[in-house]
Amino acid sequence: MYQFCRTYVKTGMKLFDLIEENPSLLLMMQHFNIDFRVGDLTVSQLCNIEGVSEKLFISIANLYNGFRPVENPIDSVDDLRQTIEFLRNSHDYYREDKYPQISSYIKQLQENHPEKELKLLEKFFYEYFAEVIDHLDYEDNVAFPYFIELINKKTSSKTDLYSAKEYSEHHTDIELKIKDIKNLLLKYVSISDDLNLRRKLLFSLFELEYDLYIHSLIEETILIPFGYNIEKA
Amino acid sequence: MSRHQLHITIMVHSPIIYEGLHTVLSQSDMDCVICKVDSLDDLEAILHSKKVDILITNPLLLVNREKDVKRIRKNNPHFSIVGINLGIVDSHSLALLDSSFTIFDTTEQVLSKLQKAGNNNKLKVTTNDDNLTERELDVLTKLVNGFSNKEIADSLNISIHTVVTHRKNITTKTGIRSQSGLTIYAISKKIISIEEVDLH
């Protein structure tokens, strides 16, 4: 699902063309709370209208197109707020859309095929899902408020109990177990027929993996380095 | 993702040549991913974050950019530049290329030149099948039965360090990292029977 060979997004390009090339950009727009009816607007016009930082939008759009940011796109309080808002919105997408969808497919698959292996796969997924929820809650309740606090105070906060370093250590790679489930389904677990359901499940896993990958890249290449810089200042 | 895969970036202004190359490459047997850039600056920007094995370009776009090309090559030693000879080429730009083809070449000629340019990059090939050794199977069985590294080491009379190495190899070969995932793998492969596993 995550393809590395697409256009390098720039200010004058039309959203319509970019979406046509990589429809996953719609998901990015949803995380930014931007409507899908883009007309003939260019990136720069759309950002202006929506009040979104153009640099941030381009950096994240390029992540979706497979390019890592060369420099940190956030340089103001407002940019940081927008980044956190974006990450929070993607949490809602995992919690309210992707996970219920995947778990309903796995449950259905398990009902259709009573083999114990699938029971184990279901159990594996639920344990994993619980871990992810923990991680998302932690980010929403501890990490993000810390970054907001940091920028509001604009003072060195060495006495604080928390730091960007701690965040980056806590920040586990939650995509790894998704890879395990995908590998198991594509390489090892034998299930007869049910291709429709299995394809839907695999597509959902790929979609989730794609967005989680970008999610952690935003945290690693944008949010955490920015936190370090403020702490140092 | 295949390890033999060639990452090809195309830098041409003509949409006809780009689409043509894209079609020829996509329809060939060559395992490649194709990407488009508009300028050397864009190429440098993407080289920060991704692999490029071959740049296919119109040599005219390299005119007066020798310094930049040299810098890019210095920073990316495993990288070839293949030029499209459109009939008008100056000798300076030609010197910057590793190889070239013309728009009158056959598809086979173009592909063979690209393949050759790609082979120069000496891609590392590693095997990745899931045939576990006897010892790895022993470690896997203990692992999915909930043994710790220390317990596995004691029961098989090997060092903890060796256990860790076996575990790494198991993960590389199977592509599965977590213990729960490995349990499902072991059952699917009939390495352990389902009755041995606690479902609660």
Q: Are residues B140 and B115 in the same domain?
A: no
Find tokens 């590998």 and name the residue.
A183
Q: How many CB pairs under 8 A join A and B?
A: 86
Whether B91 and B188 share a structural domain: no
B176/A183 touch (CB, cutoff 8 Å), yes or no: yes
User: Across the interface, which of A124, A128, A190 has its CB nearest the CB of B188?
Assistant: A190
Helical residues (DSSP H) of chain A, grouped into ranges: 15-21, 25-31, 43-50, 54-64, 77-93, 99-112, 116-138, 144-153, 164-170, 176-183, 195-218, 224-232
Residues in chain B with CB shorter than 8 Å from the CB of A117 are: 184, 187-188, 194
Q: Touching check for A13 and chain B: CB below 8 Å?
A: no
Structural domain span for residue B147 = 134-196
**Whether residue B10 has pLDDT greater than 70:** yes
What b/e string do you get for B175-195 counting C-beta neighbours within 10 Å, with b at 16 or more? bbbbebbbbbbbbbbeebeee
- Does residue B78 have a pLDDT over 80? no
From B54, B87, B119, give the residue that closes a domain.
Answer: B119
B84 and B179 both lie in a single domain: no
Q: Please indicate, yes or no, if residue B62 is contained in any of the structural domains.
A: yes
Q: Is residue B126 part of a domain?
A: no
Residues B1-27: what's their mean pLDDT? 81
| Mean pLDDT in residue range B88-116 | 82
pLDDT tens, B29-67?
A: 888 888 888 888 888 888 877 788 889 998 888 888 888
Top mean pLDDT of A2-6, A160-164, B26-30, B142-146 is at B142-146
At B137-176, the pLDDT tens digits run 989 998 888 888 899 999 988 998 998 999 998 988 888 8
Residue reference for tokens 């730009």: B93
CB distance A67–B46 less than 8 Å?
A: yes
Q: Is pLDDT of B1 > 60?
A: no
Same-domain status, B112 and B143: no
Does B186 map to a domain? yes
> Which CATH number is B176's domain given?
1.10.10.10
* Other beta carbons less than 10 A from residue A192's beta carbon: 8
Boundary residue ending a domain (B94, B119, B144)? B119
**Interface list for B 54-93 with A (CB within 8 A):** none
Q: Indicate whether B128 belongs to any domain.
A: no
Question: Which of B42, B185, B194 is the closest to A184 by Cβ?
Answer: B185
Pairwise pLDDT comparison (B124 vs A200), residue with the higher score: A200
B33/A183 Cβ within 8 A: no
For residues A200 and A185, give the distance between their C-alpha atoms in angstroms, rounded to a whole number.
12
Domain co-membership, B28 together with B109: yes
pLDDT digit string, tens, across residues B81-95: 898 887 776 777 777
Asked if residues B183 and A120 have their Cβ atoms less than 8 Å apart, the reply is: yes
Q: Are residues B113 and B141 in the same domain?
A: no
User: If you ran DSSP here, which 8-state letter would residue A23 be given?
Assistant: T
Domain count within chain B? 2
Considering the domain boundaries, does residue B181 fall inside one? yes
Residues on chain A touching B191 (C-beta within 8 angstroms): none
Residues B104 and B156 in one domain: no
Contact B25, B34 (CB under 8 A): yes
Q: Are B10 and B36 in contact (CB under 8 A)?
A: yes
> What ipTM did this prediction achieve?
0.71
Query: Chain A residue closest to B171 (CA)?
Result: A180
Same domain, B82 and B153: no
CA nearest to A38, candidates A4, A61, A55, A59: A61
DSSP sequence for A97-131: IIHHHHHHHHHHHHHH---HHHHHHHHHHHHHHHH
